Structure 1
């Protein structure tokens, strides 16, 4: 599987979140604690928004994140108020740049941890369900990117949560035709540059881990001597595959079959229910 994080708040240098915490995403690329694999070295990527550019920038590569000097240089130079970062552990598709997350379409960024079980059996049927006008945008071979383009085909730009629910419903219906019992395992991060959505769901109801950070002012009161917390802006929010340090009280688990909506100044939790397309 994979590990990922998404940040929303006042602009910070990417390295402050991606590199500096005790159990940062870079540390997780070597020593993940809650993932299926301890090592996530099959590529990485970052996507970030800036005030002067509507379309997000992305940087992706196929090597391990822990040894990439260009990634370190970039993270130290770039500041953003909304960004995503992902480290990949392949579930069988090739290690190539077009298979690294995040995926981008216009102003949208998409990251995924999980898989479609029996993907080889359902891939053709699902590809045929992609809107023909969007099909040429698919560059790689992963189930993750295909899920993104299915959601785009099902109304993502008008109704992001509803489109993801319809996408999962379509995957589950297609998988049943192929007698696949538990097809969907996912945590997903999705953003349009203004809002961040993070989903946690699996057909089996045993989803991979996902957490969001608590209110910064509460954390400041609890940890007045913690430098990173004291420096964080009041509107800062993080959604992560696993906590970035040992302050477990700083994190709250996103419940099973739900999603969180993060906007500047706060977040809320809502129920996630797959729908008929």
Structure 2
């Protein structure tokens, strides 16, 4: 423990001279992240879909769960959004599997001073503007360090609740009896606790991080929660061109609780549709 505290002190001491200069400047930067999620292959259609169709679904799922993001930040604000890339041509003429990809989060704005988060979220053709208080995690400082690039990082852990509307928790119907299917579906909707592991560096003195994560004494460079890992691959500080942080403004204004209720209802409808028990689905005999 003493060694850990000494190392933290030395890192802070080595950077304290630059901190005083940064405090007088309009300190800003960009952090580039790679996000990867391990997700179960949903059993859409059971034996009714071909191996070729399953392969296309697997490729689509992989593209959904491996993404690149840019976090633009200053001392009090940040915006986290997916890096724009040219879409790969679709062999199915643009009519391939879409599935839960429509649930991908849009640009996410965080303001530490006002304790506010604003998310520009498109959900199955409808535009929402989610406005709420910043999600707060109770961080526990751990006695571990590691090097990420040129930065010395310190470990912190926390516990968070994961909503059933998270795309990584989405599951298609499973084969078996209706009671088994129903229990599986309900299990994925219920919120559950997961452990969050973050690595932050005091060498970049902002309380920011990727996605929902913030509140540590330095920029978060890596975070793992449940089946998702987000890792910083590049940092650009005080570039000549200003780091623009635009607050999202378009969409129907809702709170996170209201949006979760809307999304949960839609997810239930999707599960009913996939299982063939929804309107016009024919049902099981």
Determine if the TM-score, normalized by the shorter chain, exceeds 0.5. no
Q: TM-score, normalised by structure 1?
A: 0.25
TM-score (norm 2): 0.24
